[in-house]
């Protein structure tokens, strides 16, 4: 009976794998390969699957032998699955090339059909095929060449499109006499576009800086147009300067009203703006404190549940368990008070105190390193001493110093600079705080872990930071 049932099941399985079902499976496998970007990252296997798929469809349409159709469909399934796996590997191994390609595409290099873009595509294909065939060394070499070509294409696209468009916009502003109403704003746009052009010539590997400068220049020239239009309307409508100032104060009044404040302009708009900023800072602090409190409470609940579970499976010792739990809660309260004390040691623009899992993080924004330098500036000595005091509050802790930069500059240069800055802070802790060298490590992450947008000066300043991770001793 068992043998008969097994044979019947096998026959049903074979019958289920009809040519039509196999072609359907091949189509599904192809869709998965496309989703994995196998056309780009595993071209050899993907094209093989496409050929086999076309043969299966063609033979099926002509009513040819079912076994022949099934064979082509099975081959297509295998090829597409290989392509998806190879594409997943390439996503990691060729990540730098893919990022360079994306940046070049966003700059318009593909639409402009630039020669460097075409050569980059050809070289990336060769790199992907080499990886499919298991030649990682050749794939790495070709990938680096492709990344260089994409960066060159991106810079060329920035020159042709972004810089050219912005320069044309500035020229149009000049023709429309915008400088009569907004001379400073238009002059800033011209200075920024000149700086962007110079940045392209100075470093062909740093595409972030010229792009951001060009975008900022475009904003400023549009800003100049807006100022000119509004002043032109003001004159045409025979309005007074008072009308214009009251109009400008009105949006700030609305924002102040939304946060429950009363806008007062008898000392200018600065005071109201400061109220709004303080309110936003308070909201940010509250959000962060709530997140940390939630994390702490979650850890407490998990730990207590574990303790209760352990206590329930043991006989006796109930009193001892209760004492242990009370001691644990007392320790957690001590930790909370210590974090509060740490937060009071730093101004908001100097450092933030965070809790990540079981670690305390000192996020130092106030170490104002000179551009390109890893020397701790003398004006940061007071902040360094307070950081040292904070670390000393955790005896025998393991400390990891991580360096971070903004996105300006090449990836390699940023990694190296962030590493040297982290090493400088590590050396300070070893020399000044007398921490054992084996307990303090340093890592540079370059621009890879931003905490704010790199598209604004304030965001870039926040990303240029040192994080000190403190893992308390058990």
Q: Give the range of the structural domain holding residue 34, as residue numbers without chain letter.
A: 16-93
Residues 339 and 350 in one domain: no
What is the per-residue pLDDT across 366-375, written as a single tens digit (0 to 9) for each? 888 888 889 9
Name residues whose C-beta falls within 8 Å of residue 464's C-beta, 6 or more positions apart in sequence.
Answer: 369, 404, 405, 406
Sort residue 89 into left (φ over 0), alpha (ψ -120 to 50) or beta: alpha
| Residues 113 and 185 both lie in one domain | yes
User: Does some domain include residue 457?
Assistant: yes
**Is 130 part of any domain?**
yes
Residues 142 and 25 in one domain: no
Co-location of 423 and 452 in the same domain = yes
- The answer as to whether 9 is a domain residue is no
Is residue 49 situated within a structural domain?
A: yes
Asked whether residue 147 is assigned to any structural domain, the reply reads yes
Residue pair 238/189 in contact by the 8 Å Cβ criterion? no
Q: Cα separation of 284 and 46, whole Å?
A: 49
- Is the pTM above the cut of 0.75? no
- Which of 29, 63, 93 is the endpoint of a domain? 93
Assess whether 121 and 206 both reside in one domain.
yes
191 and 201 in a common domain: yes
**What is the per-residue pLDDT for 305?**
65
d(CA 381, CA 359) in angstroms, rounded, equals 25
Q: Please give the Cα distance from 312 to 318 (Å, whole number).
A: 9
**In total, how many domains does the chain have?**
4
Query: Do residues 158 and 211 touch, judged by C-beta distance below 8 A?
Result: yes
- Please say which residue of 36, 68, 93 terminates a domain: 93
Averaged pLDDT for residues 77-106: 91
Helix (H) or strand (E) run with residue 196 in it: helix 183-202
Same domain, 332 and 382: no
Reported as a pLDDT band with limits 50, 70 and 90, residue 322 is low
Query: Where are any strands of DSSP class E within 421-462?
Result: 440-444
DSSP 447: T
Q: What is the pLDDT of residues 324-362, one digit of tens each?
A: 666 777 777 777 787 788 888 888 888 888 888 778 899
- Alpha-carbon gap, residue 443 to 213, rounded angstroms: 30
Q: How many CB atoms lie within 10 A of CB 108?
A: 19
32 belongs to a structural domain: yes
Q: What CA–CA distance (Å, rounded) separates 255 from 249?
A: 10
Q: Which of 124-138, 260-274, 427-441 has the lowest mean pLDDT?
A: 260-274
Q: For the segment 155-187, what is each residue's pLDDT rounded down to a tens digit?
A: 888 777 778 888 899 999 999 999 998 999 999
| Nearest CA among 342, 359, 390 for reference residue 295 | 359
Final residue of a domain: which of 228, 262, 277?
A: 228
Q: Are residues 223 and 111 in the same domain?
A: yes
Instruction: With respect to residue 187, please indicate whether it lies within any of the assigned structural domains.
Output: yes
Residues 6+ apart with CB under 8 A from 407: 208, 212, 414, 447, 450, 454, 460, 463
pLDDT computed for residue 294 by the predictor: 63
Task: Using a pLDDT cut of 70, give the percent of the chain over it.
Answer: 85
Do 54 and 140 fall into the same domain? no
CATH of the domain at 359: 3.30.1330.60
Give the HSE-up count for residue 254: Cα atoms under 13 Å, Cβ half-sphere: 5
Q: Which long-range contacts (C-beta less than 8 Å, at least 24 apart) are formed by 29-33?
A: 29/76, 29/77, 29/80, 29/81, 29/84, 30/76, 30/80, 32/80, 32/81, 32/84, 33/80, 33/81, 33/83, 33/84, 33/87
Structure tokens at 212: 């951001």
Please determine, for residue 304, whether its predicted confidence score (pLDDT) is greater than 80: no
Six-digit token pair at 316?
A: 């006796």
Q: Averaged over 132-153, what is the pLDDT?
A: 92
Does 122 share its domain with 189? yes
In a domain, 262, yes or no: no
pLDDT class for 401, splitting at 50, 70, 90? very high
The pLDDT mean for the chain works out to 83
Give tens-digit pLDDT for 60-81.
888 888 888 889 989 999 999 9
A 10 A CB-CB count for 403 gives 29
Claim to verify: residue 86 and residue 121 sit in the same structural domain: no
Whether 350 and 471 map to the same domain: the answer is yes
Q: What are phi and psi of 443, to 5 degrees?
A: -140, 140
């Amino acid at each position: 009976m068992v043998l008969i049932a097994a044979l019947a099941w096998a026959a049903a399985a074979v019958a289920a794998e009809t040519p039509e079902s196999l072609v359907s499976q091949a189509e599904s496998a192809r869709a998965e390969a496309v989703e994995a970007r196998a056309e780009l990252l595993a071209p050899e296997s993907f094209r093989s699957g496409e050929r086999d798929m076309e043969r299966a469809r063609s033979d099926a349409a002509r009513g040819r032998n079912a076994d022949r159709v099934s064979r082509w469909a099975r081959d297509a399934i295998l090829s597409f699955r290989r392509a998806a796996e190879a594409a997943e590997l390439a996503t990691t191994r060729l990540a730098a090339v893919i990022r360079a390609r994306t940046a070049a595409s966003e700059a318009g290099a593909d639409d402009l059909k630039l020669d460097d873009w075409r050569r980059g595509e050809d070289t990336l294909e060769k790199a992907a095929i080499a990886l499919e065939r298991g030649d990682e060394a050749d794939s790495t070499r070709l990938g680096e060449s492709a990344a260089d070509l994409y960066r060159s294409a991106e810079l060329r696209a920035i020159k042709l499109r972004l810089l050219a468009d912005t320069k044309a916009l500035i020229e149009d502003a000049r023709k429309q006499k915008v400088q009569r109403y907004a001379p400073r704003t238009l002059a800033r746009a011209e200075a920024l576009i000149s700086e962007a052009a110079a940045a392209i010539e100075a470093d062909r590997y740093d595409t972030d800086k010229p792009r951001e400068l060009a975008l900022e220049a475009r904003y400023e020239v549009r800003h100049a147009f807006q100022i000119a239009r509004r002043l032109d309307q003001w004159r045409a409508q025979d309005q007074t300067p008072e009308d214009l100032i009251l109009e400008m104060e009105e949006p700030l009044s609305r924002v102040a009203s939304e946060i429950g404040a009363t806008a007062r302009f008898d000392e200018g708009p600065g005071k109201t703006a400061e109220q709004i900023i303080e309110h936003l800072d308070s909201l940010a602090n509250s959000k962060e404190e709530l997140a940390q409190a939630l994390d702490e409470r979650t850890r407490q609940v998990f730990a207590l549940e574990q303790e209760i579970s352990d206590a329930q499976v043991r006989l006796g010792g109930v009193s001892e368990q209760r004492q242990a739990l009370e001691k644990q809660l007392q320790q957690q309260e001590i930790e909370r008070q210590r974090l509060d004390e740490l937060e009071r040691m730093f101004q908001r623009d100097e450092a933030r105190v965070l809790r990540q899992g079981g670690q305390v993080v000192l996020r130092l924004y106030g170490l104002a390193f000179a551009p390109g330098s890893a020397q701790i500036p003398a004006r940061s000595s007071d902040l360094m001493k307070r950081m040292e005091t904070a670390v000393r509050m955790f005896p025998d802790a393991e400390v990891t110093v991580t360096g971070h930069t903004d996105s300006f500059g090449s990836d390699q240069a940023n990694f190296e600079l962030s590493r040297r800055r982290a090493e400088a802070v590590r050396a300070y802790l070893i020399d000044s705080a007398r921490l054992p060298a084996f307990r303090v490590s340093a890592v540079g992450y370059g621009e890879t872990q931003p905490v704010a947008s790199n598209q604004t000066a304030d965001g870039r300043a926040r990303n240029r930071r040192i994080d000190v991770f403190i893992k308390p001793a058990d």
